[in-house]
Structure formats: structure tokens, C-alpha cells
Amino acid sequence: MNETGTLIFFSGKMGAGKSTYAKQLANELKAILLSEDDWLVALYPDEIQNFDDYILYSARLKPLLKSHVQSLLHSGVSVVMDFPGNTPKQRAWFKELFDESQIPHKLIYLQTDDSLCLQRLEKRRLESPERAQFDTETVFHQVNRYFQAPTEDEGFNIDIVLNK
């Protein structure tokens, strides 16, 4: 019988480095990497034009992936999810994934200063011009109004990474 894989997911402000960290960790662990951005672009090309569109399509994606991710984890494969866990509601979905089947998990919280996040967004706009309309200071502040750092009482195994 296979050992159960570990579910690894992230919390951190926009531009904190969640995607970069997720890619590195998946590579190090030889785990499956699932990126929300990649899935959304593939399934809904040209349909996400603003933050409200993102919320709508992101909500459609998660039910599709739930049983797939659980199957991977039960097969012994660890899964690194580059999906935001930036609010208690977003984190509740991850909790559903691992709680139902007693799957090991780790929530990595990247604590990052706003100024560093904004610098990274500027760099990302230059490297990926297709993201320029979303990776702006205005969107950063809009998105981060909703950000709530994870707390111990939510019941997660939290690793805090001070990102400087």
C-alpha cells in the first residue's frame, strides 16, 4: 500500500513569491505542481479581464480539481498547489482537500514587505507583458485588502517564511 502524499499550499500577498517558491519546492520534492494561473489560462482564455472575473472562474475551477488532487495524494504523490490561500475562505477549500481523508499537509506563509512585493510585480510586468494589466500597484492594493494571514486557530500546519 502506498504512503499518502503531502498537500502543500501557500499564503502570502500578491508578489510575495508564492509561484516561484512553489516551482522550486515541487522540483526539490519531485512533486506534482498545480498552478491556478496555468489552469485558468488554459480553460478560460481571454475570459478573465478583471478581478471579479478571476473570482468567478477560480470558483469554477476548484470543484473540478478536488477529487483529482485527492487521488494524486492517495496514490502517494505529493502535490504543491500554486493556488492562493490568502483568506480564511480560500484556506477552507484546502482544508476540505486534506481533512476528508486525513492527508498530511503544509501551509507555507510567505511574509513579505509590501515594497518588495511591488518591486517583484514591476519585474514580472517586464518579463511577462501579458500580465501587465493585472500586476499593477492598483490591483495589488485591491487584492491585498482581502488578505488575512493564516492563524494557528485555523488548524493548519503552518511554516512561516520571512521573505526579504
Please indicate, yes or no, if residue 2 is contained in any of the structural domains. Answer: no
Please indicate, yes or no, if residue 14 is contained in any of the structural domains. Answer: yes
Rounded CA separation 65/86 (Å)? 19
Rounded CA separation 127/106 (Å)? 30
Please indicate, yes or no, if residue 135 is contained in any of the structural domains. Answer: yes
Helix axes 137-144, 51-74, angle to 10 degrees: 60
Residue type for position 87: T
Specify the DSSP class assigned to residue 161.
E
Rounded CA separation 52/120 (Å)? 23
Rounded CA separation 137/5 (Å)? 37
118-151 pLDDT, tens digit per residue, is 999 999 888 888 777 788 899 899 999 999 999 9
Confidence of residue 49 (pLDDT cuts 50, 70, 90): confident
Please tell me the pTM assigned to this model: 0.91
What range does the domain containing 141 cover?
7-163
φ, ψ for residue 33, nearest 5 deg: -105, 125
Task: Look at residue 107 in the predicted model and tell me its pLDDT.
Answer: 98
- Contacts of range 48-54, beta carbons closer than 8 Å, 24 or more positions apart: 51/139, 51/142, 51/143
Confidence of residue 102 (pLDDT cuts 50, 70, 90): confident
How many independent structural domains does the chain possess?
1
Q: Work out the mean pLDDT of the chain and round it to a whole number.
A: 92
CATH code of the domain covering residue 134: 3.40.50.300
Residue with cell 476528508: 100
**DSSP string of 70-92?**
HHHHHTT--EEEEEE--SHHHHH
